[in-house]
Structure 1
Amino acid sequence: MTSPSLFIWLAVLADGLAGLAGGLLSERWLKRHLAALVAFAAGALIGAVFLEILPEALAVEGPGAFRWALASFLALTLLEWFLGPHHHDHSAHAPGHPHHHDGAVKAPSTVVPSLLAADALHNIGDGAAVAAAFLVSPQAGVATALAVIAHELPQEVGDYALLRATGLSRARSLLALGGVQLTAVAGAGAVLLGSRWVAGLEGIILALAGGTFLYIGATDLLPELRHTADPRSARGRLPGFLLGLALVAMAGVVERHVLGAHG
C-alpha cells in the first residue's frame, strides 16, 4: 500500500498551486465569479467537517474529539472578538469591489507583512490538518485536502488582490504568496514527526481542524455571501455551495468504493 506521506506531500503541493490561482485569472472573471467561489469553499469546508473530519476524529479520539473541536471553534471566536475581523475579507479584497481601488489608490504597504504572517500561520494549520487526516484514513485525507484547496482559492485571490493594491507587481505578489505557501510543509512535517512520539496526535489535530473549518465556513464565509451586491454574482452562490458539498460527498463515496475493491 502506498505510504500516506506521498499523498500528504501531493496534497500540500496541490494546495500551494491553488494559492497562486489569483495571478492566473482575469480581474473581470474574478469579479463575476468570486461569490460562487466563496460559496463553493463554504460548502466544501462544512461538508468535509460533518461527512469526514469529525466522524474520523471521533473514531480515533472518542467523545473527546468534540471537546477539541469546540476548543478550536471557541478559540477562533475569541480571537476575532479581541483582534478584530478575520483578515480574509474576500469581497472587500476582490477586484472591482468599492474598497479595491483598481490601482487608483494604494492600500497601505504596512498590510503586507501582517497579511503574509497571518497567511503563513493559516497555511501551517492547513498542512497539519492534511497530514493528520491522511494518517487517520485516505477518506479523511482526501476530504480535508479538497476542503483546504477549495478554501485556498477565494482566500488567496483576495490576498493577491490586496497585495496588488499595495503597488506590488504581479510577479512580486505571486512570489510572496508562493513563499508563504511553503509554510504548509512545516505544518505537515511537524505532524508526521510528532505522530511518532505522541499517541493519538492525529486524532486531536483532526478534531481541531474540524472546529476550525466549521468556524471558517459557517461564521466567516457564509455570512459574507449575504453582502454580495452584484445580482449576476449572487446567482452563483447556491450552485457553488451545493457543488462544494457534492464534491466532498462524492470523493468520499469514490474513495470507499476504491478501498472496498482493493480491500
Structure 2
Amino acid sequence: MTLFYIVLATFMGGVLSVVVAASLTYAMLGQLVKHLVSLSAGVLLGTALLHTLPEAFESQVDPRTLFAVLLGGLLFFFLLEKAELYRHDHHHEGDGHDHHHHFDAEQAGRGGFSVLVGDSIHNFCDGIIIAAAFIASPELGLTTSLAIILHEIPQEVGDTIVLINAGFTRRKALFYNALSGLAAVVGGVLGYFVLGTWQAIFPYLLVVAASSFIYVAVADLIPQMQRRMPWREMLQQVLWIGAGLGLIVLALSHLHEH
C-alpha cells in the first residue's frame, strides 16, 4: 500500500497542476497564482517547522549534525537557484550584438526547454522526498505530499505561462508540463525501492526536504508578496498564509487522532 500511496501522491503533484492550468483562462490563472503563492508559503513553512523537522529531530542523530545538514541544504538550494538564474541569462536582438532575425524567438524556445529540464529534475527530487516521507510514516507522507502538491500548482501554472510566452502552443505547453510532472512518479518509485534499505538516512533526507520547503517559502514565495499594496490585498495575503498553516495544523491533529 505504501508504494500505491507514493505513486498516487506523486502523480497528483505532477498532473493536478496541469489540469488546473488547462481549465482556467489567463485572467483566472493570474488571480489563482496570486492567492496560491500565499497559501503555499504557509503550507511549506508549516510542514517544515511543525512536522518534517520535529520528525527528523526525534531520531537518534545528533541535533548539531541535523542543523548542519539544514544549513547545507539551504546553501545548496541557494546555489541551485543561482545556477538556474545564470542559465536563463541570454542576449537579445536589440542588445547591440550581431544577432540574426528571429534570434529572440529561438532563444525563447530554448529557454522553454531549459525550464522543462529544470522542472523535471525538481519533480524527480520531489518524488524521492515523498517516498522518504511515506516510508518514515504515513502521516508524514500525507502532510509532505500536501505541501508539495499545493506548491506545485502555482509553480506549474506559472511554468505553463512561461512556456506559452516562449512560443509553445497552449496544448504543447500543457503536454510537456504534464510529461515533466511524471518525473515525480519516477522519483517516487525509485525512492521506494532504493530508500527502503537505507533507513538510517531518513532523518537527513527529512531535513533536506525541510530546507527545500523553507528556502522556497522564504527566498521565492514571500519576496513575491513583499511589495506596496492596499490594506485589503495585504490582509488577503495574511489570511491565505494563515489558511496554509491551518491546513497543516488540521491535518496533523486529524492524523494524530488516528
TM-score between the two structures when normalised by the length of structure 2: 0.84
| Kept after mapping to 1: 8 A contact 2:14/2:123 | no
- Listed as ranges, the gaps of 5+ residues in structure 1 are 88-104, 259-263
Q: What number of residue pairs does the alignment pair up? A: 239
CA distance in 1, matches of 2:230, 2:31: 8
CA distance in 2, matches of 1:182, 1:82: 24
CA distance in 1, matches of 2:87, 2:153: 16
Q: Which residue pairs with 1:25 in the alignment?
A: 24
Structure 1 residues 5 and 207: CA distance shift in structure 2, 3 A: same
CA distance in 2, matches of 1:86, 1:14: 29
> Displacement, 1:143?
1.1
1:236 alignment partner, SS class: helix
Q: Which entry has the higher C-alpha Rg, 1 or 2?
A: 2
| Kept after mapping to 2: 8 A contact 1:36/1:233 | no
The percent identity for this pair of structures is 30
Q: Which residue pairs with 1:96 in the alignment?
A: none
Q: Which residue pairs with 1:49 in the alignment?
A: 48
Q: Which residue pairs with 1:34 in the alignment?
A: 33
CA distance in 1, matches of 2:130, 2:177: 19
The alignment yields a C-alpha RMSD, in angstroms, of: 2.4
Structure 1 residues 66 and 111: CA distance shift in structure 2, 3 A: same
**Matched ranges for 1:33-112 at <5 A:** 33-60=32-59, 62=61, 63=63, 64-81=65-82, 83-84=84-85, 108-112=108-112
**Matched ranges for 1:224-263 at <5 A:** 224-227=224-227, 235-258=235-258
Structure 1 residues 151 and 162: CA distance shift in structure 2, 3 A: same
Q: Which residue pairs with 2:98 in the alignment?
A: none
Which amino acid in the other structure matches residue 170 of structure 1? R
Structure 1 residues 233 and 70: CA distance shift in structure 2, 3 A: same
Structure 1 residues 159 and 82: CA distance shift in structure 2, 3 A: closer
CA distance in 2, matches of 1:227, 1:71: 29
> Displacement, 1:128?
0.9
Q: Which residue pairs with 1:12 in the alignment?
A: 10
Q: Which has the higher helix share?
A: 2
> Displacement, 1:227?
3.5
Q: Which residue pairs with 2:128 in the alignment?
A: 128
CA distance in 2, matches of 1:137, 1:177: 30
CA distance in 2, matches of 1:55, 1:24: 38
Structure 1 residues 6 and 120: CA distance shift in structure 2, 3 A: same
State the 4+ residue runs in structure 1 displaced beyond 4 angstroms: 228-235
- Listed as ranges, the gaps of 5+ residues in structure 2 are 89-103
Structure 1 residues 179 and 83: CA distance shift in structure 2, 3 A: closer
CA distance in 1, matches of 2:66, 2:139: 18
CA distance in 1, matches of 2:199, 2:16: 32
Structure 1 residues 203 and 114: CA distance shift in structure 2, 3 A: same
CA distance in 2, matches of 1:86, 1:47: 31
1:197 alignment partner, SS class: coil
CA distance in 1, matches of 2:86, 2:235: 26
Q: Which residue pairs with 1:261 in the alignment?
A: none
